Amino acid sequence: MVLAVIAEHSLPLTIAPVLVELSQCLAADKAALSQIKLSRTAASYKMVYGMGHTFAERTFSNLRQYTFSLNVDESTSSSNKKVLSMLVSYFNKELNDVVVEHLGSLEVAKVSSASLERVMCDFFQKKNIPWSNLISIMLDSCNVMRGSKSGLETRIRERHCSTLLDVDGDSCHHIHNSAKRFAEPFENYLEQLFADIHTDHQWAPDQLGYLKEIAEFLDIPATNPQRFVSHRWLSAYDVGINTKRMLPVFRVLYFGFMGKQDQELYNEILQDLYRDHGVSEKAQRRVEFIHQDLCKKGMTDLGKKRKARIVKKIWVENQKVNLILTVYLGVLPILKEYVMVFQGSKTLVHKLHDKQLEVFINFLACFIKPEHLKMSPKKLLELDLANNTLHSQIYVGKVAEDLIAAHPKHPIIMDFIGKVTKAYTACGKYMQNKLPLKSKTLQALSSIDPVVRGHSQAVTQLKELARIMKHLVPLESDITQEIIRYNVDPNLAKYEDGDDIVKLWAHVMSLGKYPALSQVIRGALSIFHGPLVESSFSLMGDVIDAKRSSMKISTFDAVQTVKYVLRSRGKTGIGMFKRDDIKLGPVDKTLCQNIRVAGRRDKTDREKRMEAKQKRQVEYGCSATCESAEKAKTTALAEERQTRLKHVDKKITAARRKALDTLQEVARKKRKLE
């Protein structure tokens, strides 16, 4: 039964154990289970006005008393709806932890800084959320969001929240764009190859099957060709790893698409490849059959050109592909590591400045002399990276180094070295311009790291942090004295680098010895350090797709709210509401009440929308002839059918009349002859 339901509704197989556990929990209370009714419409309004409303109101209530930070971004759903999504991070005193919850997803008609400001202000006013509790906003770096004159962040700081901290834009976006700058001198050479190979196998299951078969002959682990995502340039690294491993397999497969003359030219190289991988004679004959079978297929002109590009790169220009692949796989991991650290949900705002400085220095070390890297962040940003006197031997990866050593004056090698130098310089300059290494705020946030406790610099930076966030410090408190005592307190728990910073600070706050400092730390720990809101957009394609284009954003908003509450509590839906004692176990009374009245609230809202629609119709002198688009479609089909039947009936009647006239004429002639 479970498998049939999974197959019927195209559910992933990973949902099977969840369905079984859900069934077992529901069956524990048979009396309630026998009475439950939940249609699609009821599920929608109970999600919006019941569970989503309950959790959202609790979030709003917390934001009225706690300081918080926002992560805001805009996206377009598959049904072409513009959606502004907001995540909120704050230190929850009840849970003694930093939680990230979904604040709201709002449909916007136009994406501009003014319209987004208006939507956010209306939302804050409606939910009675004070701007004074807002610490910072994490945005991407486009002009609409972070323009220095009229961007969304600038508008909010100037008009609503003068104490808003400048934590810069999304540093993960900066790193992705840095990778793009590094790749630009190579003129999209590898990225085009990645795209061609992926497209060539995407709609060809027979070719993909042959690819995996050849991989078995070569004893190479086979994977489907991956797609390169242009707006996430570091995906070139992930695709490059698989392409590097699968390159011999691609070469054997695409050998069959060469012309006869080229096959004779490269046959010896193919035989060497067979020998290196121990391919048997029988397997080689099978490969020949695969080549013949694939060449029988009809191909479009685009397909022929695509295969010709692939063959040229992996056979004729194989050395160039290896050179660029090597430098990609050698340099991009430096940037990839940073992104992987800060795209997680663990609180790492205290590591933000240090990690940015670390990734910048590690990158510069690949082509700048070490003696020029032992300086302050400010001076590093002033280095002229195009100055050849600062350059050391550039790092290009082991394979490229061996090729350069063997043929240092070869034209391909000389061109490659020139492009690599340009790549390093362009990427380094971009990182100089974009990474906020001079940010006093980020440097001060580093002081909340317990590792630096006991150092004099920790006191200095904590004082700076208190000055930056002075609006959180009670007027009668002596926070400087608290900082000094905290820095030398021998009774605090020991902290190892990598431990959960939130747990340690939660312990410090619970002592009650540092009330003013605790206020500042709560605000600091809530600051976003990565683009977590983008992960919420991945759900949008599942919830709002072309088949459900009429779904309201409020439903998506409620689903997101529930999803993030479960995630922030570290619980599943079953674990959140499971009771050991079905009859006497405590229940969430507020949630139960909201679930009960959800239908009434939905009906009230629908009536209000209908009244507003009728009011507009009266105002503009128009009237609707049908209640819905579905009814209009049904009416149009019925009218068309009636018209067609009348037309057919008319034709049939005319044909019958003509036949009757013919019979009467024949009878008349017969009588006349008689």
pLDDT in tens, 384-435: 999 999 999 899 988 888 888 888 888 889 999 999 999 999 999 999 999 9
Give the H/E segment covering residue 87: strand 82-92
Section 155-168 average pLDDT = 92
Task: Let me know whether 540 and 464 are in one domain.
Answer: no
The pLDDT, as a whole number, for residue 538 is: 56
- Count of beta carbons in the 10 Å neighbourhood of residue 512: 8
Q: How far apart are CA 338 and CA 235, in angstroms?
A: 14
Residue 554 — very low, low, confident or very high, per pLDDT cuts 50/70/90? confident
**Is residue 470 situated within a structural domain?**
yes
Q: Evaluate whether 501 touches 69 at the Cβ level (below 8 Å).
A: no
Q: Which burial class, exposed, middle or buried, applies to 654 when counting CB atoms under 10 A from its CB (0-12, 13-18, 19+)?
A: exposed
Report DSSP letters for 375-413, one per residue: S-HHHHTT--TT-GGGB-SPP--HHHHHHHHH-TT-HHH
Q: Evaluate whether 557 touches 105 at the Cβ level (below 8 Å).
A: yes
Q: How far apart are CA 64 and CA 643, in angstroms?
A: 63
* Chain segment 305-347, per-residue pLDDT in tens: 999 999 999 999 999 999 999 999 999 999 999 988 887 778 8
Task: Let me know whether 536 and 499 are in one domain.
Answer: no
Task: Let me know whether 158 and 42 are in one domain.
Answer: yes
Task: Let me know whether 536 and 569 are in one domain.
Answer: yes
**Is the model's pLDDT at 50 over the cut of 80?**
yes
**Is the model's pLDDT at 295 over the cut of 70?**
yes
Residue 253 — very low, low, confident or very high, per pLDDT cuts 50/70/90? very high
**Is residue 501 situated within a structural domain?**
yes
Task: Let me know whether 462 and 577 are in one domain.
Answer: no
**Is residue 637 situated within a structural domain?**
no
* Chain segment 584-620, per-residue pLDDT in tens: 889 999 999 999 999 999 999 999 988 988 888 888 8
Task: Let me know whether 44 and 138 are in one domain.
Answer: yes
Distances (CA, A) of 674 to 82, 596, 668, 669, 670: 87, 91, 10, 9, 6
Region of poorest pLDDT, from 90-94, 296-300, 328-332, 480-484:
296-300
**Is the model's pLDDT at 132 over the cut of 90?**
yes
Q: Please give the share of the chain, as a percent, with pLDDT higher than 90.
A: 54
Q: How far apart are CA 26 and CA 292, in angstroms?
A: 58
Structure-model confidence comparison of residues 79 and 285, the more confident one:
285
The pLDDT, as a whole number, for residue 551 is: 65
Per-chain mean pLDDT for the chain: 89
Q: What are phi and psi of 98, to 5 degrees?
A: -85, 125
**Is residue 16 situated within a structural domain?**
no
* Chain segment 201-232, per-residue pLDDT in tens: 998 999 999 999 999 999 999 999 999 987 77
The pLDDT, as a whole number, for residue 330 is: 92
Task: Let me know whether 576 and 494 are in one domain.
Answer: no
Q: How many domains does the chain have?
A: 2
Task: Let me know whether 45 and 118 are in one domain.
Answer: yes
**Owning domain of residue 501:** 453-525
Structure tokens at 369: 């002399």
Q: How far apart are CA 336 and CA 149, in angstroms?
A: 32
Residue 624 — very low, low, confident or very high, per pLDDT cuts 50/70/90? low
**Is the model's pLDDT at 579 over the cut of 70?**
yes
Q: Which of 562, 593, 624 is the last residue of a domain?
A: 593
Structure-model confidence comparison of residues 670 and 281, the more confident one:
281
**Is residue 312 situated within a structural domain?**
no
Q: Please give the share of the chain, as a percent, with pLDDT higher than 70.
A: 96
The pLDDT, as a whole number, for residue 583 is: 84
**Is residue 239 situated within a structural domain?**
no
**Is the model's pLDDT at 647 over the cut of 90?**
no
* Chain segment 254-269, per-residue pLDDT in tens: 999 999 999 999 999 9
**Is the model's pLDDT at 121 over the cut of 60?**
yes
Report DSSP letters for 193-256, one per residue: HHHHHHHHHHT-HHHHHHHHHHHHHHT----PPPPP-TTSTTHHHHHHHHHHHHHHHHHHHHHT
Q: How far apart are CA 223 and CA 435, in angstroms?
A: 36
Q: Which of 543, 559, 593 is the last residue of a domain?
A: 593
Q: How far apart are CA 400 and CA 384, in angstroms?
A: 26
**Is residue 279 situated within a structural domain?**
no
Task: Let me know whether 500 and 554 are in one domain.
Answer: no
What 8-state DSSP symbol labels residue 134?
E
**Is residue 563 situated within a structural domain?**
yes
The pLDDT, as a whole number, for residue 644 is: 86
The pLDDT, as a whole number, for residue 533 is: 65
Q: Evaluate whether 69 touches 91 at the Cβ level (below 8 Å).
A: no
Structure-model confidence comparison of residues 307 and 497, the more confident one:
307
* Chain segment 505-545, per-residue pLDDT in tens: 998 999 889 999 999 999 999 998 877 766 555 555 555 55
Task: Let me know whether 163 and 45 are in one domain.
Answer: yes
Task: Let me know whether 469 and 578 are in one domain.
Answer: no
Distances (CA, A) of 477 to 43, 166, 473: 51, 25, 7
Residue with tokens 């005592």: 485
Task: Let me know whether 87 and 67 are in one domain.
Answer: yes
Q: Which of 561, 593, 625 is the last residue of a domain?
A: 593
Q: Evaluate whether 130 touches 122 at the Cβ level (below 8 Å).
A: no
Q: Which amino acid is at 40?
A: R
Q: Evaluate whether 177 touches 139 at the Cβ level (below 8 Å).
A: no
